[in-house]
Each structure stands twice: as C-alpha cells, then as structure tokens.
C-alpha cells in the first residue's frame, strides 16, 4: 500500500539517537565512522554476518548510558535526565536504522535470522528502560514539577511524551505485572515479524505463467513486454505475472480471460490466507489476544482505547464517527458504480453477475466509454524521471529547496539514486535516497523512512538522510519506467513524507520529522499528492517520453472530468478496511476469533457490497499486524480532512502562493515539537472543515 511509514519494531529504537558516527570495533564496518561524503552510510562495507554482534555492542552501550542516568547522584534536571535519554544509544541507533530499513527493502533469509535473534534483546532492553523504577522516578519528578522548570514548548512536549511512554510501557505496574507485560511485548514483536515474513513469502509463491498468447488478449503491449521480461529474468518461457501491483493490477484491468482474472484476484486478496505454511489466521488471533491482554494490564477497556488515548482522535467513538460519516455516501456511490458496470456486462451479453475480479476490468471499459480515457493513453506522459523532477520542482517553488543528484554516495542496491537537498541559501538540509522498483527481496507497498534522523542537541546539528521506497512499474527494453496516475500520486505522496523528514527543524530527535501524532502525519503526504494532478503542475513535468510533447490540454481536461470516477469503490474499500481495523480491536474475547468470519460479520453490519473487497483483508493487513498502524488505519481519513481543507486555502490563494506556502512550511518544519491542532488552526485561521474531504472525493 502506498501510504505507509516504516516504523521500528520496538519503542526503544524511536528514543535512540540516530547518527552515522559510532564506535570503531575492529572487523565490524557498520560500527566505524563513515568516510563517505556527508557521512553517508557505507552500505558496500556492511556484512550481514556482522549485524548481530553490532546489535549486541549497541545494546550494551545503551544499557550503560541508561545506567549512568539512573546512578547520577545529582537531583534530576531536564539536562541530566531527558537530554541524556535523547542522546543515549548512539551506536544502537545507527545499527537499528540501517538494519531495519534494509530488512524491509533488501531482505534475505540471513537478515530474517538476525531479526528473530535481536527482537527479544530489544524488547528486554525496552523493559529495562521503561520498567525501571529509579529512571521513572527521575522523569516523574520533572513531570510533577514541570510548571516551574521554565521549559520551552518543545521540551514540555518531549517531557510529556516520555512520561506517557513510561506509563504506557508499564512503569506504574507491580513487579509481577511488569514481567507479564515484558513477556507480552516479546511475543507481540515476534508474532509481528512472523506475520510480515509469511505475507512476503506467500506473495512471492504465486506465479501466473502464460504460454498461450491468446490468454494475453486485452493486455496492452507494455504490460505484455513487462511480463515477458519478468519471465525471462525468472528463467521461464512465456509471460510471468506476479502479485506485485505493477504486474497484477494491469492484468485485472485489461485481461479478457475472466477465469485468469479470478485466479489473480483471489491470489492477491487471499495472501496469507492459503492452506500452506504461510497462513496468518492463527497469528492474527494470537496478536489480538496479546494486545487485549496488554490493554487490560495497563487499565484500558480494549486495545483500541489504549492506542487512541494518545492520538488526536482520543476515543474510539470519535474515530468511528468520522469513518461512518464518510461510509454512508461512499457505499451509496459504490452501489451506483456497480449498477453501471453490470449494465455493460448485460449490454455485451455477458449473462453473469459482476464479481470482484470483474470490477477493475469493466471499470476501464466504463472509463473509456465515458471519458475516452485509459491508463495507456496517460502513461507515456508520466516517465518516472520526469515525475520525480516535477515533485522536486514543486518543493522548490513551495519551500525553496533544491535537489542535486550525487553519484558519489554509496547505495545499498543498484538503481537506488541519491540527491543532496539544500535550502534557498545553499545550506545542506538532507540526503534523499530513492528506491523505486519491485524485487523479490523487497516487501510490497511504498514507504518513507530514515537512515539518519534530524537533531540539534548536545552541540551537534545532524541533518537527516531520508529514503523513499516504492514498487513502481519497471523499465522494459527501450521503454523507460512509465507511471500510471495512481503511481504518480504515490510518488508525490511518499515524497511528501520525505519532505516532512528532510525539512524538519527541531532540537530533540524524538519529535523531529515524522515523529508526530499518528493521525497527523498523513497530512503532509496526502496534501503533496494534490500538486501532482494540478493542471499547472502537470504541464511542467508531464512530457511524452518519445516526443517530448507537453501533455495536451485535451488530455488534462479528460483527467479532470474523470477525477471523481470510481471513487465510490476507492473510498469504500479504504473506509471498510479502517472500520475493520477499529472493530477488530474493540472485541472482548478472541478465544475463537476467526478473521474470515469476523470480516463477513463486519461486512454484513456495514452493508458492504460483496463485489468490493476490503483494501486489505486481515491476513494481508500489514499496516495493522506488522507495520505499526494498529488502530491507526483511520488516520489516513482523519488526516485527509486536514489536507483537503488545507489545500482549499492554496486553491483560493494560488497553489504556489508564497505567503500560504511559508505558513504551511512552519507545520512541516515543526515535527512533533508543537501542538498540532493549534498550529493547524493558526495556518488555516479556523477549525478544519470535514466537508472538504467529501467535496474532494465528489461525495458532497
């Protein structure tokens, strides 16, 4: 899924200072100081076999740093306690940032072995810190006297975050309950890893190999060429289709062979739910039981209440109310879309009822009939390199930043590109890595994360090193990577997260960049998508890859007219998944929980039409069970209220209006160092208007 931020496996990594410097343990390159330009990671020197030992060294150093804080005989001050915590664990921060990022984007069985070995160590370290009575006593003393400490707003927020994290980490529990919570956390971490590994393996297992060219009927030449190249690379004859979205979605859109569409559709939505060793159903039940035990132990009615207590939404009722207000018009629109698709089938004499594996296919026919528009007409104008240049150009116009490619920076995989980011005065701001194409060692979806986080503390001003990882349609032969509109928006989306990380200007690493409330973070990615499809912007970057012709106004007009097309489907599949996530985490008893039965029950409750599947079914809902978004999938829609409302201001004043952009840049730069809703209202001059989302989706 495109809207994902990679999160660390345990909370401890988030409170660990990330920097490219480190120790100098002989034989372990990752622990040495980088000699690469700008101190960039020297990926080519790092050996998988060294990671486990590097983690052990980093964990030992982190424990020593924490022990020093605990044993400090001086009365607790912000500097000797909170600053010291923020600066602790330099080596562990470096190793964790690099390892866990590469484990997602360039995985191997050896990396998985390291992950399984190190996760209990990190969880135990997490318990040592968050359940330490002496350390918590120092933090609690500061927290109880915070009004008299003369703290800045950023320091106050950092202190409050630490206090809440310690309480939520078990600091107030008795010894027996602390041991129970530590055991739960260890089991949850390992189950999450197993879920993700199963999903990756089950997806890789599926291969549709076509040897009869007649079965390619309906598929555009570009799709055929990509499938032929995939087969060749796999040592197979014919054409190969996989469950990577650039492969399977075009197949569902264009393949005339209905039975093969059904096979691909069921395989895609059934990942993790097959009768094999990769089935995730038992893992889901285990995770939900453990989460419920954790919530109860910490004094909450259920896991949803536990998670939402520190989010902007605050309550299950608030999140549910937002989703249901969108659900009703969305499902009504989806029913209208279903009727239109069934009408095409009937006109063509199909004599069958529309099914899920028909939706994509007949939607393309309807799009062509209504707007004379399809992806194959659009894609030649959206060469990947040009789209990226368009994103860079928007960032320059909005925020005054420039991007210059650096070929002297080490990368972790061939094809990864690196750019130096500077402000309008030529000062270095960040390094930006792009990793855009699918491979067997990369999980599906798209995300932004960091190899190095920003901080300005302890005499060091460390600028971030940010990466965008995606799975776009790869080049084939002489044809470059050409993106469809969804992929184009994904690039701008993840780049929005990237800008959030690159432009941040905080002091404390725990509140820098995307370290904000979960239901606020998607504001910056989702609003950035909106520039991608603005006519004024498209004319600057959308150029035919063969002729260089700027995208014609007639084609832009078609795209604008079709902008609300199929949004009943897109909105209902998204909202249904968010409601599924929320409902799953408000149950009382998971003893006999069956994810298939629960999905069907929620579907019946909502009146969710059977021709549309949840955007993610439970067994492949990585956001919720291995990606840090548990009880958080609603956040995309919560933040969409903000981004739609905010972009309306840009539309009123001009999409590159300097004053508006400068005001919004303050939101981007502040990370989590200020109150998000107060600052949003400062920018907008009013409360966010929920109707803006419905207007943007054509539902009002």
User: pLDDT tens digits, residue range 93-115?
Assistant: 999 999 999 999 999 999 999 99
Mean pLDDT confidence for 137-163:
98
Tokens of 233: 């690379």
Beta bridge partners of 460: 457
Please, what is the average pLDDT of the chain?
94
pLDDT of residue 15: 43
Q: What angle do CA 313, 316, 317 make, to 5 degrees?
A: 90
| Residue 545 CB neighbours (<10 A) | 18
CA distance 209 to 192: 32
Instruction: Check whether 692 has a pLDDT greater than 50.
Output: yes
Q: Domain 380-561+635-696: give its CATH code.
A: 1.10.1370.40
Share of the chain above pLDDT 70, in %: 96
CA distance 241 to 234: 11
Tokens of 309: 């207590």
User: pLDDT tens digits, residue range 430-441?
Assistant: 999 999 999 989
User: pLDDT tens digits, residue range 567-618?
Assistant: 999 999 999 999 999 999 999 999 999 999 999 999 999 999 999 999 999 9
For tokens 């690159």, name the residue. Answer: 502
For tokens 């555009």, name the residue. Answer: 220
This prediction's pTM: 0.93
DSSP-assigned states of every residue in 361-385:
HHHHHHHHHHHS--HHHHGGG-BHH
Residue 679's Cβ-side half-sphere holds a number of Cα atoms within 13 Å equal to 18
CA distance 544 to 377: 10
Contact 472, 437 (CB under 8 A): yes
Same fold, 8-130+132-168 and 380-561+635-696: yes
CA distance 457 to 471: 36
User: pLDDT tens digits, residue range 622-644?
Assistant: 999 998 899 999 999 999 999 99
pLDDT of residue 700: 84
User: pLDDT tens digits, residue range 53-103?
Assistant: 999 999 999 999 999 999 999 999 999 999 999 999 999 999 999 999 999
pLDDT of residue 12: 43
Say which DSSP state 83 is in: I
pLDDT of residue 627: 86
Going by DSSP bridges, is the β-strand pair 455-457/460-462 parallel, antiparallel, or unpaired?
Answer: antiparallel
Mean pLDDT confidence for 380-401:
98
User: pLDDT tens digits, residue range 357-372?
Assistant: 999 999 999 999 999 9
CA distance 501 to 462: 12
User: pLDDT tens digits, residue range 263-314?
Assistant: 999 999 999 999 999 999 999 999 999 999 999 999 999 999 999 999 999 9
Which residues are catalytic, by number? 494
pLDDT of residue 690: 93
Tokens of 201: 């393996």
Cβ neighbours of residue 172 closer than 8 Å, sequence gap 6 or more = none
Tokens of 292: 């419920």
CATH architecture of the domain 8-130+132-168 equals: Orthogonal Bundle (1.10)
Is residue 700 packed enough to be buried (19+ CB in 10 Å), middle (13-18) or exposed (0-12)? exposed
Q: How confident is the model at residue 20 (pLDDT cuts 50, 70, 90)?
A: very low
3-state secondary structure 220-247: CHHHHHHHHHHHHHCCCCCEEECCCHHH
Q: How confident is the model at residue 693 (pLDDT cuts 50, 70, 90)?
A: very high
Q: How confident is the model at residue 444 (pLDDT cuts 50, 70, 90)?
A: confident
Going by DSSP bridges, is the β-strand pair 447-452/4-5 parallel, antiparallel, or unpaired?
Answer: parallel
Report the SS3 class of residue 292.
helix
Domain regions of the chain by residue span: 8-130+132-168, 206-269, 380-561+635-696
Mean pLDDT confidence for 478-492:
96
CA distance 250 to 224: 10
Say which DSSP state 78 is in: I
CA distance 468 to 214: 38
Q: How confident is the model at residue 25 (pLDDT cuts 50, 70, 90)?
A: low
Instruction: Check whether 249 has a pLDDT greater than 60.
Output: yes
Beta bridge partners of 403: 421
Q: How confident is the model at residue 375 (pLDDT cuts 50, 70, 90)?
A: confident
Mean pLDDT confidence for 510-536:
96
DSSP-assigned states of every residue in 162-181:
HHHHHHHTTTTS-HHHHHHH
Mean pLDDT confidence for 124-144:
96
CA distance 103 to 109: 10
pLDDT of residue 628: 87
């Amino acid at each position: 899924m495109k809207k994902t931020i990679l999160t660390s496996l345990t909370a401890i990594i988030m409170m660990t200072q990330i920097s490219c410097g480190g120790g100098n343990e002989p034989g372990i390159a990752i622990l040495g100081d980088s000699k690469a330009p700008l101190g960039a990671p020297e990926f080519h020197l790092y050996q998988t076999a060294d990671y486990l030992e590097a983690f052990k060294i980093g964990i030992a150093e982190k424990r020593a740093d924490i022990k020093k804080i605990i044993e400090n005989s001086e009365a607790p001050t912000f500097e000797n306690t909170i600053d010291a915590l923020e600066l602790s664990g330099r080596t562990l921060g470096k190793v964790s940032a690099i390892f866990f990022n590469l484990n997602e984007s360039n995985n191997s069985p050896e990396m998985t072995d390291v992950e399984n070995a190190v996760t209990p160590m990190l969880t135990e370290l997490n318990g040592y810190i968050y359940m330490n009575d002496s350390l918590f006593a120092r933090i609690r003393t500061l927290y109880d006297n915070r009004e008299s400490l003369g703290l800045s707003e950023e320091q106050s927020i950092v202190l409050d975050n630490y206090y809440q994290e310690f309480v939520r980490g078990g600091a107030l529990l008795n010894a027996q309950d602390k041991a129970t919570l530590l055991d739960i956390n260890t089991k949850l971490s390992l189950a999450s890893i197993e879920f993700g590994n199963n999903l990756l393996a089950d997806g890789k297992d599926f291969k549709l190999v076509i040897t009869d060219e007649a079965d390619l009927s309906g598929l555009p030449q570009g799709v055929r060429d990509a499938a032929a190249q995939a087969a060749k690379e796999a040592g197979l004859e014919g054409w190969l289709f996989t469950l990577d979205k650039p492969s399977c979605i075009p197949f569902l859109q264009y393949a005339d062979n209905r039975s093969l569409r059904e096979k691909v559709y069921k395989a895609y939505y059934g990942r993790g739910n097959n009768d094999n060793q990769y089935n995730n159903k038992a893992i889901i039940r285990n995770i939900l039981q453990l989460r419920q035990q954790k919530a109860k132990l910490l004094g909450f009615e259920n896991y949803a209440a536990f998670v939402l207590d520190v989010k902007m939404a605050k309550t299950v009722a608030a999140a549910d109310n937002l989703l249901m207000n969108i659900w009703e018009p969305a499902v009504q629109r989806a029913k209208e879309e279903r009727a239109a698709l069934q009408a095409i089938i009937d006109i063509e004499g199909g004599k069958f009822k529309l099914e899920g594996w028909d939706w994509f296919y007949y939607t393309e026919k309807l799009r062509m009939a209504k707007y004379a528009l399809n992806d194959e007409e659009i894609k030649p104008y959206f060469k990947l390199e040009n789209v990226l240049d368009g994103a860079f150009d928007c960032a320059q116009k909005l925020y005054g930043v420039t991007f210059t490619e650096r070929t002297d920076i080490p990368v972790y995989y061939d094809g990864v590109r690196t750019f130096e980011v500077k402000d309008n005065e030529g000062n270095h701001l960040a390094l930006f890595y792009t990793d855009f194409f699918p491979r067997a060692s990369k999980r599906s979806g798209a995300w932004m994360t960091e190899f190095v986080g920003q901080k300005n503390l302890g005499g060091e001003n460390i600028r971030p090193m940010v990466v965008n990882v995606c799975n776009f349609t790869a080049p084939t032969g002489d044809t470059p990577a050409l993106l469809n509109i969804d992929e184009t928006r994904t690039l701008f989306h993840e780049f929005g997260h990237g800008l959030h990380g690159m432009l941040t200007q905080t002091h404390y690493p725990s509140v820098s960049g995307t370290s904000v409330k979960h239901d606020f973070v998607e504001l910056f990615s989702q609003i950035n998508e909106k520039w991608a499809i603005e006519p004024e912007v498209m004319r600057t970057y959308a150029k035919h890859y063969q002729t260089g012709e700027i995208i014609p106004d007639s084609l832009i007009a078609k795209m604008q007219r079709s902008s609300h097309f199929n949004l009943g489907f897109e909105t209902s599949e998204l909202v249904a998944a968010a409601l599924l996530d929320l409902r799953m985490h408000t149950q009382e008893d998971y003893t006999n929980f069956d994810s298939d039965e629960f999905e069907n029950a929620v579907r019946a409750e909502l009146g969710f039409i059977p021709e549309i599947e949840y955007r993610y079914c439970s067994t492949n809902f990585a956001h919720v069970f291995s990606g840090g978004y548990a009880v958080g999938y609603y956040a995309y829609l919560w933040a969409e209220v903000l981004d739609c409302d905010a972009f309306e201001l840009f539309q009123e004043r001009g999409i590159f209006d300097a004053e508006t952009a400068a005001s919004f840049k303050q939101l981007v730069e502040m990370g989590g160092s200020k109150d998000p809703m107060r600052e949003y209202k400062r920018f907008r001059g009013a409360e966010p208007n929920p109707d803006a989302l419905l207007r943007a989706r054509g539902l009002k």
